[in-house]
Amino acid sequence: MRERPLGEVVQGLGQLDGGVIYASRPWRADSVAEVHDDEQPARHHEYLLEVDLAQEVLKVWSLWRDGRQPTALEAVGAVIYYAEHDVHQPE
């Protein structure tokens, strides 16, 4: 898959059917990211999360906030938080 900003990858999670997200550090919305079908590391990117886990992170984020959908920056923040702490972002 082609390189895109991490924010764009996160916004398109609903259209993905699996894979692994890799992104350049420091992780933020404008970090360069790619999604791959296998678990081989991208050239200069580091493992961020599996797509299905990132999708779950956003579902939990919304559930914990009475169904509110995250903004683009909130969604990226929640995914990065989970990737860095291995726990869902608190309310």
Residue 44: predicted pLDDT: 79
Residue 40: predicted pLDDT: 67
90 part of a folded domain: no
79 part of a folded domain: yes
Domain total of the chain: 1
Domain that holds residue 54: 4-85
pLDDT averaged per 10 residues, the chain (length 91): 91 93 95 84 82 98 97 97 96 87
pTM equals: 0.92
20 part of a folded domain: yes
68 part of a folded domain: yes
91 part of a folded domain: no
39 part of a folded domain: yes
41 part of a folded domain: yes
Which helix (H) or strand (E) element contains residue 21? strand 20-23
Which candidate, 63, 25, 59, places its Cα nearest to that of 44?
A: 25
Q: CB of 81 within 8 A of CB of 75? A: no
42 part of a folded domain: yes
